[in-house]
């Protein structure tokens, strides 16, 4: 290991320090920057070369997690006039030297900072919070580097000294994450004030709910992510973000806002292009979708496994969007849940059905390889040349497969590769029939297929004889196990 080339050694250090990990996942882990027994500190304990390499690789020191602030209890005895001794205990602050060294080693590199300088668990409940002097000192150290901050994840707003903010405090800040609910001091007013000091800020995430106490638009925000807020609270926030392009909802809280708001109209999100929704109750999700209108939506990801199909259909009808990307769990959702499918280019389906025949491939297959009778549609974008082919512009299909449980270990009738071949072949024949062309002259749809399946099944899929036939058609097939 000690004889490894420098570039290989640096790559090992990067992986060990989480440089290639998602920052939010890294910050959720137990690792933090003030633990000198963890990476990247620990690399300097091996040998002189490793110490020099790690200390002189600034990127290793760009993920800054300030939490579990180290404190040490010290005991001192002092003599009294009565020849007895008085014992006093104090807490020694040990966090400043490693914090200063950590930031110094990052040199001029952009920083991603997680700031929640609460005492380490070993010091609780003796010390629940740092003193105001400690907070001011931490703020002074951090704010001397804020010109390099690209992402800032913050707990309570009092974790930074407000006196140290200036009009150009965060010139490079692009992403802000705030944590707190009604117990927090985060409000839309002080968030708006912070955004004025961050001219490049485009992305905002909230965990909990900042209190809406202003009508001032947060115009710079284009991407917003929310979790643990009720659907009413979420709507209030969205009304303050007129230029929103991407919305991600990880969890809609079940508790309604108080006092409750009577919504007499649907909130119009005119510029929203992508909507991603994860775990939500059916009731909360339905209430939220019933109160928004997204006329420009191009990408919809429904990660909730409990959803009324009619809710999605009403949402589509009210918004009149035409998706290019459609991601969902089947059942209950499917390709044909949507009315406007003519522009769809990518489908990602998490198949949890128990059907031997994959329901998504069955929907996309044209019966008998020829066009069935055309149903009426008000979709103005539907091509008259291929009226009966569902998703005629489909380029990529991703299937996350769960084999039918009732088959047990007997999977002889579960042949996903052969079904893909039948689906693609039928679409080629149907497209050729509709255009009057030969099969060789029409575009293959889809062009790419990704299959994700348990490792026990991927070996058989990779050896399937129909894979070669699919490749001869011009189809790219990718297989991933898990």
Domain holding 430, by residue range, is 328-372+385-482
429 & 459 share domain: yes
335 & 478 share domain: yes
Boundary (domain end) residue, out of 301, 321, 341: 321
**Within a domain: 98:** no
With beta carbons less than 8 A apart as the criterion, state whether 154 and 177 touch. yes
314 & 333 share domain: no
With beta carbons less than 8 A apart as the criterion, state whether 229 and 253 touch. yes
**Within a domain: 346:** yes
Percentage helix, strand, coil, to 5, in the chain? Answer: 35, 25, 45
With beta carbons less than 8 A apart as the criterion, state whether 66 and 114 touch. yes
315 & 332 share domain: no
CA nearest to 140, candidates 166, 114, 171 = 166
- Listed in sequence order, the residues at least 6 apart from 4 whose beta carbon sits closer than 8 Å to its beta carbon are 12
Boundary (domain end) residue, out of 278, 301, 321: 321
With a threshold of 0.85, does the pTM exceed it? no
State both tokens at 431: 């497209």
336 & 212 share domain: no
CA distances from 123 to 64, 80, 95, 207 (A): 21, 30, 13, 26
**Within a domain: 55:** no
Task: Find how far residue 72's CA is from the centre of its chain.
Answer: 38
**Within a domain: 38:** no
Q: Note the pLDDT of residue 146.
A: 86
Q: DSSP characters for 140-167?
A: HHHHTTGGGEEEEEESSGGGS-GGG--T
291 & 341 share domain: no
Q: Give the dihedral of Cα atoms 479, 351, 343, 265; nearest 10 deg.
A: -140
Boundary (domain end) residue, out of 321, 339, 356: 321
Classify the C-alpha dihedral 166-167-170-176 as positive or negative: positive
Along the 482 residues of the chain, how does pLDDT read in single tens digits?
667 888 999 999 999 999 999 988 888 888 999 899 999 999 999 889 999 999 999 999 999 998 887 766 666 655 555 555 555 545 566 788 999 999 999 999 999 999 887 765 554 454 556 777 887 888 888 888 988 999 998 876 556 666 666 667 788 999 998 876 544 566 777 777 777 888 899 999 988 777 777 777 888 999 999 988 888 888 988 999 999 999 999 888 766 555 556 666 889 999 999 999 988 888 889 999 999 999 999 999 999 878 889 999 999 999 999 999 999 998 889 999 999 999 999 999 998 776 678 889 999 999 864 444 434 444 544 444 444 789 999 999 999 987 655 555 455 556 788 999 999 999 988 888 877 777 676 778 899 999 998 887 787 788 888 888 898 888 999 999 88
Q: Note the pLDDT of residue 81.
A: 57
CA nearest to 238, candidates 201, 264, 275 = 275
Classify the C-alpha dihedral 149-151-156-157 as positive or negative: positive
336 & 481 share domain: yes
436 & 421 share domain: yes
Distance, CA of 271 to CA of 224 (rounded, Å): 13
Distance, CA of 477 to CA of 447 (rounded, Å): 9
248 & 363 share domain: no
**Within a domain: 18:** no
302 & 390 share domain: no
Q: Note the pLDDT of residue 406.
A: 53
308 & 194 share domain: yes
Distance, CA of 43 to CA of 66 (rounded, Å): 20
390 & 314 share domain: no
**Within a domain: 295:** yes
With beta carbons less than 8 A apart as the criterion, state whether 9 and 96 touch. no
> How many structural domains compose the chain?
2
């Amino acid at each position: 290991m000690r004889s490894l080339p420098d570039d290989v050694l640096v790559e090992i250090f990067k992986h060990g320090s989480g440089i290639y990990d998602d920052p939010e996942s890294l910050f959720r882990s137990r690792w933090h920057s003030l633990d000198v027994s963890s990476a990247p500190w620990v690399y300097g304990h091996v040998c002189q070369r490793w110490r020099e390499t790690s200390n002189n690789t600034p990127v290793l020191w760009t993920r800054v997690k300030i939490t579990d602030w180290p404190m040490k209890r010290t005991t001192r005895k002092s003599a009294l006039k009565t020849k007895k001794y008085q014992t006093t205990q104090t807490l020694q602050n040990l966090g400043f030297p490693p914090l200063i060294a950590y930031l110094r080693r990052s040199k001029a590199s952009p920083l991603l900072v997680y700031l929640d300088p609460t005492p380490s668990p070993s010091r609780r409940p003796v010390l629940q919070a740092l003193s105001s002097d400690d907070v001011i000192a931490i703020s002074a150290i951090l704010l001397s580097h804020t010109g390099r901050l690209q992402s800032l994840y913050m707990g309570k707003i009092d974790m930074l000294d407000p006196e140290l903010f200036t009009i150009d405090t965060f010139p490079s800040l692009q992403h802000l994450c705030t944590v707190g609910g009604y117990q927090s001091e985060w409000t839309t007013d002080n968030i708006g004030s912070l955004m004025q000091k961050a001219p490049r800020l485009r992305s905002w995430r909230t965990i909990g709910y900042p209190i809406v106490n202003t009508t001032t638009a947060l115009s710079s925000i284009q991407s917003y992510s929310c979790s643990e807020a009720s659907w009413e609270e979420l709507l209030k926030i969205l009304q303050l973000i007129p230029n929103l392009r991407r919305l991600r909802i990880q969890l809609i809280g079940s508790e309604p806002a108080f006092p409750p708001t009577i919504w007499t109209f649907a909130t119009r999100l005119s510029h929203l292009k992508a909507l991603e929704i994860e775990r939500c109750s059916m009731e909360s999700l339905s209430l939220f979708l019933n109160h928004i209108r997204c006329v420009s939506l191009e990408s919809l990801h429904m990660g909730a496994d409990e959803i009324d199909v009619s809710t999605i259909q009403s949402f589509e009808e009210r918004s009149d969007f035409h998706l290019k990307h459609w991601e969902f769990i089947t059942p209950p959702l499917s390709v044909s849940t949507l009315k406007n499918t003519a522009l769809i280019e990518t489908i990602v389906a998490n198949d949890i059905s128990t059907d031997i025949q994959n329901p998504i491939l069955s929907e996309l297959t044209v019966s008998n390889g020829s066009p069935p009778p055309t149903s009426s549609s008000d979709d103005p974008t539907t091509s008259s040349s291929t009226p009966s082919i569902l998703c005629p512009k489909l380029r990529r299909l991703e299937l996350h497969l769960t084999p039918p449980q009732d088959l047990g270990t007997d999977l002889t009738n579960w042949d996903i590769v052969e079904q893909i071949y039948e689906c693609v072949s039928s679409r080629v024949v149907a497209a050729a029939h509709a255009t009057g062309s030969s099969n060789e002259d029409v575009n293959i749809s889809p062009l790419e297929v990704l299959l994700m399946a348990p490792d026990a099944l991927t070996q058989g899929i990779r050896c399937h004889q129909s894979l070669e036939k699919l490749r001869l058609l011009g189809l790219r097939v990718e297989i991933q196990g898990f």
